[in-house]
Structure 1
Amino acid sequence: MQDFIYDKDSDGIVTVTMDMAGQNANTMNKRFEPGMRAVCDRLEAEPGLTGVVFASAKPTFFAGGDLHDILATETADAASFAFIEANKAVYRRLEKLPVPVVAAINGAALGGGYELCLACNHRIVLNSPKAVVGLPEVTLGLLPGAGGVVRLTARLGLEKALTYLLEGKQARPDAALADGLVDAIVDEPEALIPAAKAWIRANPDAHTQPWDQKGFRYPGGDALHPRVRQVIQVSSAMLFKKTRGLLPAPEKILDVAVNSMRMNFDAALRVETRRFIGLMASKEAKAAISTFFFGTQAIKSGKLRPEGARWQAGSAAVLGAGMMGSGIAYAHAKARLATRLNDTELARAEQGRAYSEALCDKAVARGRMEAAGKDALLSHITPATGNAAAGSTDIVIEAVFEDIELKEKVIAETWPMLSPEGIYGSNTSTLPISILAQACPDPSRFIGLHFFSPVDKMKVVEIIMGEQTSQETLRKAYDYVQQIGYMPIVVNDARGFFTSRVFGTFMDEGCQLLVDGMAPAAIERAAWLAGMPVGPLQVFDEVSLILGQKVRHTHRALDQRLGVDSGFGQHNTATVEVTDPMIAMGRGGRQYGGGFYDYDAQGTRVLWSGLEQFARGTADIPIQDAIDRILYRQAIETLRCLDEGVLNTEIEANLGGIFAIGFPAHTGGAIQFIRGEGVEAFAARARQLAASYGARFAVPDSIYDRLASREAAAA
């Protein structure tokens, strides 16, 4: 009981204060169950016991399961089953105590922590935005395994419970009280335990859970109720539409929740355990935990950030009021960063500010922003022409067209605006930062800041280090990106960097499949089945075929200027073969009236019937091959970026791929996808694809060996 402080007062109420030794938070680690078992033994034998209060000595109440232990689980075996059942057993023993049990929730109670609260008879929470409650396991590829699915369904009814179970929502005190997740709120930490004890004294007989009482009925009706049956049908359809069958956790949650209403309570708890241990060992859970929990945590905590004091920009200038520049200005204003939005004509700069106004109007119409909030946001954007006062701006972001000569001209002309400690960023998607840096007086303060369109929705920035960019500039850029609420992904300078380079392979593989003779609709379907948000042909139309052609021409001219052959996009042969003739036919993409798709006045799209002319082969490509080609092509290019040092970490490779490119989230990112398949198995499949479809899938064994050795070192 080293992790639990046991204190009995004169009224016979025992307060059990959780304080896991050597940890910042209470977790369901290997010591938890033995400790809780000892607590239950003592409570069951305690003479004169009148009630129990569970509290925490940590800033949070209880953080749930130990994710390191879950990552270490390789198989769903008897030992895992016994471990989970033992943890659930102590919660069930609490429910069977002949006295009321109250949870005094001082901070976050999530996962196994909130499941402890559900096993109590009453829940009192501190009125603090940090005191959130919920069951976020689905976001980690898991289901609540300590009774959470069964108890929440019994407490709230199926429909309301599913909104929390399937989305992993976390509720602050007011919302938690309104939805029935907690029963009372107190305003001061010191009032928590007294309030819990007062409730126990006022309700000495409130110790039997509703589901253990004779005649218990589920709120909203049982599984046979017409409305509940409708909820089940609709939930199943909506779930598949959302997950495409690629995420096992939501399906298992729905299965446990529904079937828990059809069986004995204890039997339902056991079914929940069986489903949970199956997920523990799944590659989807390991992907979600590794990438979305530990990976995101590493970035947010600054683990990947250069050391040094935090920096905050107080003023900014964005050069170019097109879609990208306007979006960046909006991101700044939303973060209350005063921004000068520059263009060659004031009318265009004002039009750029109007972009933010339109976004605000939409938010106001949806009830997500007050009119005063709109005015406050817009006050941070100042349309302008010409330079600001010399030395007056902390960060300048050049966001003009992707033309190297234009960018070099703008950089040289606007550099004087920078404050002595300021940094200059170029929003470029492919142009080498080291070459652009030659246009400025101090290349050490120049860095790439690649935003993604639409900026208000794509909350990630690719930070590109030039050859002379200093670590201080990188640190400031990292802090700036986090200051405006975006995720920083750091890469090193190379043609196409990371995101554009990999994204190009996705679009090209769509063209390759078209050339090989696959039906266009089947190509888009394969991408959907793979988990990509949009098919490659539709994506090409959205970004425009003409833009892709301009990028190729720009790099060809740059190669001639430098006297080199960069090999940029060398494997993207089908892109040239298909899109150049289409552009010549006047099919440049959606904004040009049509591309791979035809569009009517309402924006409805239909695949262009002329695409069949580009088919050179008549191969009957299996749908699984098409899926693998789409995923493996991107994963292989990401692996090359990591091996070449364009990418610094697997964390950034995985998160950058998901949030910037749209690599399927259920895989945990491209490198995690390779690890999930197994490095050897992935390499074998890649060799099969190379033999059947071309050298773009061929990767030297040495690259796989280095990846495998890095995995062994991490383990």
Structure 2
Amino acid sequence: MSSVQFEKDSDNIVHMILDRKDGSANVMDAAFQADFFEFIQKLEAEDNWDGVIVRSKKKTFFAGGDLTALIQVQPSDAQQFFDEVEALKKAMRKLETMGKPVVACINGAALGGGWEIALSCHHRIALSKGVMLGLPEVTLGLLPGGGGVIRMTRLLGLQGAMPYLLEGKQFKPEKGKELGLIHDIVDTPEEMLEKAKAFIKANPESVQPYDVKGYKVPGGKPSSPALAQMLPIAPAMLRNQTKGVLPAPEAIMCTMVEGLQVDFDTATRIETRYFTTLTTGQISKNMIGTFWFQLNEIKAGRGRPDGFEQKPVKKVGILGAGMMGAGIAYSSAIKGIEVVLKDVSLDNAEKGKAYSETLLNKKVSRGRMSEEKRDGILSLIKPSANAEDLQGCDLIIEAVFEERGLKATVTKEAEAQIAGDAVFASNTSTLPITGLAEASVRPEQFIGLHFFSPVDKMPLVEIICGEKTNDETLARAYDYVQQIAKTPIVVNDSRGFFTSRVFGTFTQEGIAMVGEGVSAVSVENAAFLSGYPVGPLAVMDEVTLTLSAKVRKQTIVDMEAAGESYTAHPADAVADSMLEQDRAGKSTGGGFYDYPEGGKKKLWSGLDQYYKADSQIPLQDIKDRLLYIEAVETARCYEEKVLTSVRDANIGSIMGIGYPVWTGGVLQFINQTGLKTFVTRAQELAEKYGDRFTPPAYLVDMAEKGETFKDS
């Protein structure tokens, strides 16, 4: 056996040792399944044993399912896949119903299939450190297919299991013990084995709680009065979260409810049917490809230049203590980096530091951080109005207003204080890095670091290389982004780069439709039904039309200086009209929405001035206009080499600008639609709604050749 070892010790206890020969982690692949079947057969054939200890020789307990195989399962493979999953689950069921004790010794992460193996054991012991547990399959468009839904629901009850199944919430051993899922927590592997053996000797006959006659599921079955009242509401609440485009949470809920109304074996077959449907579907393939394979490539540094050793940032200087600068300061200090937070006045800088204090105080009040640790983090942030305090910084991040002159001034001021090998980065969201680098005496060490607001919550940082940015600077910027636990994507210079440029098409398209007379309610609802977290009008209220107007004005100036002419967008007239009516956005009291004090926001009744009853268009057209305009613009970014990898486009579009999760990202949306179908639909939209939907010639060429977007 290449993945599982069968050993019997002097205490007559069989050890099921998980140790995949050709990998750093144990995986539920075909080799494991074959070995597991053989292990169970040996147990049945050799009846002279007192119990089983399941343990791992890897740093982790068990990594989960074989996603490389799962992503390849097609609808035509459904029956074979169903049979294979059922066979594995029957073997797991055999392990827990032999009547003898089975103990899981969890030495590291047990997620997905690993936690399902542990759940099939009667007793679970975990190390106190380095262990994470849970069933995160829903985040990849799947459900736990190895009995995880059925066992968790029976052990925790329907409502108790929901966060761990519908949200994929992970937990540590302490929480597991509180839930009754972990029975003991120890400090060493040796102690874990001793405890496991002691349990086996003390419990020669073992059975799962849910197999005991008369066992009652916590909270009751779906037919119980309390659940019977809640269940009719639950699907509507879930649909509000999934927007009808994420099938996995809905399939999980169905499995949970249906599974509690039948016997265990029937319940697991129900689980397998839903699992098979999700696995053979396109949405899980989109999500696995992006959130597993492509995201892991980014984490592994595929976008980082080779040949440069990692050099952690020790001291960062941040220019501007507004929301962005304050957020960057917090994100740096919480990772142990010394911060100089500089603004035009010490008062402003101290207000910026206060932002970190507020966030840290929340952690302390919730018991997630000690006061001592909070004070230590805050001590790393030095508010200042003196440029000389920037001395010793190995990274400077400029986060002042989007004004070219101001940025040039602070660049020169900071560079006069820092060492020759320090990196200078601008947090601009739209201004080309090459142009901003003209104010620098060392443009090779000038780069863009585009953070997203609020910085403490948003996981993405867009790294922008100017024409003269060298590879070492890129490598150091990449390392810093990962040092502060953010996800980096790397793009080349352009007005708006990738994220702001594409995001702008989304908001502009929504506003343009309002200008055409389309109902604002229809526009926002179409975005919601497409899977966007927020509609284009609501997003623009957060950004403010004032900022959008400033960006447009700067764009016009820059294009005229370059001898180019600006082409007005259909959204411009509505934006100007709203500004004339003092409706700039949320921060100014109201924009497309009203924001009543103490109440929920609602669309401004004044939008009726743009509405035309005879200008309504099909819902599908509204949805496609939002999805396709971003996809077409992304394709242009790819053609222009602003984007150089598919993974950066997909991850950036979801983590940075809210492209619907179910698509797997903006270029994967084109792939899964099919390039020929996409091009045809884009051309239809161009004929009906404007040339901006016209697909680039190279995209048409790719479609004719039958190609797709993929990284080499």
TM-score in terms of structure 2 length:
0.95
Secondary structure in structure 1 of the residue aligned to 2:318: strand
Change (3 A) 1:588 1:159: closer
Query: In the alignment, is residue 500 of structure 1 matched against residue 496 of structure 2?
Result: no
- Render the CA deviation track for 1:219-263: whole Å, top value 9, x for unaligned: 332222222334534533332221122211111111111111111
Match of 1:623 in 2: 619
Change (3 A) 1:603 1:201: closer
Secondary structure in structure 1 of the residue aligned to 2:424: strand
Match of 1:509 in 2: 509
The one-letter code matched in structure 2 to 1:656 is G
**Structure 2 residue aligned with 1:689, among 682, 685, 692?**
685
Q: Which moved more, 1:348-357 or 1:55-64?
A: 348-357
The one-letter code matched in structure 1 to 2:98 is L
The one-letter code matched in structure 2 to 1:530 is S
CA distance in structure 2 between the partners assigned to 1:607 and 1:157 by the alignment: 40
Query: In the alignment, is residue 303 of structure 1 matched against residue 299 of structure 2?
Result: no
Change (3 A) 1:123 1:369: closer
Match of 1:177 in 2: 177
Aligned runs of 1:300-339 on 2, under 5 Å?
A: 300-307=299-306, 308-339=308-339
Aligned runs of 1:272-291 on 2, under 5 Å?
A: 272-291=271-290
- Render the CA deviation track for 1:17-40: whole Å, top value 9, x for unaligned: 121221111111111222111111
The one-letter code matched in structure 1 to 2:40 is C
Match of 1:223 in 2: 222
CA distance in structure 2 between the partners assigned to 1:234 and 1:336 by the alignment: 45
CA distance in structure 2 between the partners assigned to 1:83 and 1:189 by the alignment: 33
Match of 2:51 in 1: 51
Change (3 A) 1:352 1:617: same
Question: What's the CA shift for 1:77?
Answer: 1.8
Match of 2:345 in 1: 345
Q: Is contact 1:418-1:424 (8 Å) kept?
A: no
- Render the CA deviation track for 1:629-661: whole Å, top value 9, x for unaligned: 111111211122122211121111111111211
CA distance in structure 1 between the partners assigned to 2:230 and 2:305 by the alignment: 50
Match of 1:437 in 2: 437
Question: What's the CA shift for 1:499?
Answer: 0.9
Aligned runs of 1:94-173 on 2, under 5 Å?
A: 94-128=95-129, 130-173=130-173
TM-score in terms of structure 1 length:
0.95
Change (3 A) 1:416 1:311: same
CA distance in structure 2 between the partners assigned to 1:685 and 1:351 by the alignment: 50
- Render the CA deviation track for 1:298-336: whole Å, top value 9, x for unaligned: 222223222221111111211122222222222222222
CA distance in structure 2 between the partners assigned to 1:396 and 1:712 by the alignment: 36
Change (3 A) 1:44 1:371: same
Q: Is contact 1:426-1:449 (8 Å) kept?
A: yes
Q: Is contact 1:597-1:606 (8 Å) kept?
A: yes
Secondary structure in structure 1 of the residue aligned to 2:394: strand
Change (3 A) 1:216 1:602: closer
Q: Is contact 2:333-2:377 (8 Å) kept?
A: yes
Aligned runs of 1:512-551 on 2, under 5 Å?
A: 512-551=512-551
Q: Which moved more, 1:462-471 or 1:325-334?
A: 325-334
**Structure 1 residue aligned with 2:628, among 625, 629, 632?**
632
CA distance in structure 2 between the partners assigned to 1:287 and 1:250 by the alignment: 16
Query: In the alignment, is residue 450 of structure 1 matched against residue 468 of structure 2?
Result: no
Question: What's the CA shift for 1:681?
Answer: 2.4
Query: In the alignment, is residue 641 of structure 1 matched against residue 642 of structure 2?
Result: no
Match of 1:190 in 2: 190
Q: Which moved more, 1:277-286 or 1:299-308?
A: 299-308
Q: Is contact 1:8-1:14 (8 Å) kept?
A: yes
Q: Give the percent of matched residue pairs that are identical in Structure 1 and Structure 2.
A: 46
Match of 1:667 in 2: 663
Secondary structure in structure 2 of the residue aligned to 1:383: strand
Secondary structure in structure 2 of the residue aligned to 1:31: helix
Secondary structure in structure 1 of the residue aligned to 2:388: coil
Q: Which moved more, 1:105-114 or 1:247-256?
A: 105-114
Q: Which runs of 5+ in 1 are unaligned?
A: none
CA distance in structure 1 between the partners assigned to 2:170 and 2:589 by the alignment: 44
The one-letter code matched in structure 1 to 2:630 is Q
Match of 1:578 in 2: 574
CA distance in structure 2 between the partners assigned to 1:401 and 1:585 by the alignment: 25
Change (3 A) 1:345 1:713: closer
**Structure 2 residue aligned with 1:608, among 579, 585, 604?**
604
Change (3 A) 1:504 1:46: same
CA distance in structure 1 between the partners assigned to 2:368 and 2:406 by the alignment: 39
CA distance in structure 2 between the partners assigned to 1:217 and 1:200 by the alignment: 25
Change (3 A) 1:612 1:292: same
The one-letter code matched in structure 2 to 1:648 is T
Q: Is contact 2:519-2:616 (8 Å) kept?
A: no
Aligned runs of 1:410-489 on 2, under 5 Å?
A: 410-489=410-489
Question: What's the CA shift for 1:147?
Answer: 1.0
Change (3 A) 1:65 1:704: farther
Q: Which runs of 5+ in 2 are unaligned?
A: none
Q: Which moved more, 1:600-609 or 1:586-595?
A: 600-609
CA distance in structure 2 between the partners assigned to 1:589 and 1:313 by the alignment: 37
Match of 1:680 in 2: 676
Aligned runs of 1:557-596 on 2, under 5 Å?
A: 557-565=557-565, 570=567, 573-596=569-592
Q: Is contact 1:390-1:419 (8 Å) kept?
A: no
CA distance in structure 2 between the partners assigned to 1:645 and 1:700 by the alignment: 13
Question: What's the CA shift for 1:464?
Answer: 0.5
CA distance in structure 2 between the partners assigned to 1:662 and 1:2 by the alignment: 43
Question: What's the CA shift for 1:143?
Answer: 0.7
CA distance in structure 2 between the partners assigned to 1:668 and 1:713 by the alignment: 13
Q: Is contact 1:515-1:616 (8 Å) kept?
A: no
Change (3 A) 1:231 1:109: farther
CA distance in structure 1 between the partners assigned to 2:239 and 2:708 by the alignment: 33
Question: What's the CA shift for 1:265?
Answer: 1.3
- Render the CA deviation track for 1:242-296: whole Å, top value 9, x for unaligned: 1122211111111111111111211111111110010002222112211212222
CA distance in structure 2 between the partners assigned to 1:406 and 1:497 by the alignment: 20
Q: Is contact 1:33-1:86 (8 Å) kept?
A: no
CA distance in structure 1 between the partners assigned to 2:710 and 2:298 by the alignment: 21
Match of 1:703 in 2: 699
Q: Which moved more, 1:115-124 or 1:459-468?
A: 115-124
CA distance in structure 2 between the partners assigned to 1:662 and 1:643 by the alignment: 22
Number of aligned residue pairs: 709
- Render the CA deviation track for 1:180-218: whole Å, top value 9, x for unaligned: 222222221123333222211111011x32333333322
The one-letter code matched in structure 1 to 2:575 is T
Change (3 A) 1:44 1:600: closer
Match of 1:652 in 2: 648
Root mean square deviation, CA, Å: 2.1
The one-letter code matched in structure 2 to 1:461 is V
Aligned runs of 1:253-268 on 2, under 5 Å?
A: 253-268=252-267
CA distance in structure 1 between the partners assigned to 2:696 and 2:400 by the alignment: 39
Q: Is contact 2:431-2:495 (8 Å) kept?
A: yes
CA distance in structure 1 between the partners assigned to 2:258 and 2:210 by the alignment: 15
Secondary structure in structure 2 of the residue aligned to 1:675: helix
Q: Is contact 2:464-2:497 (8 Å) kept?
A: yes
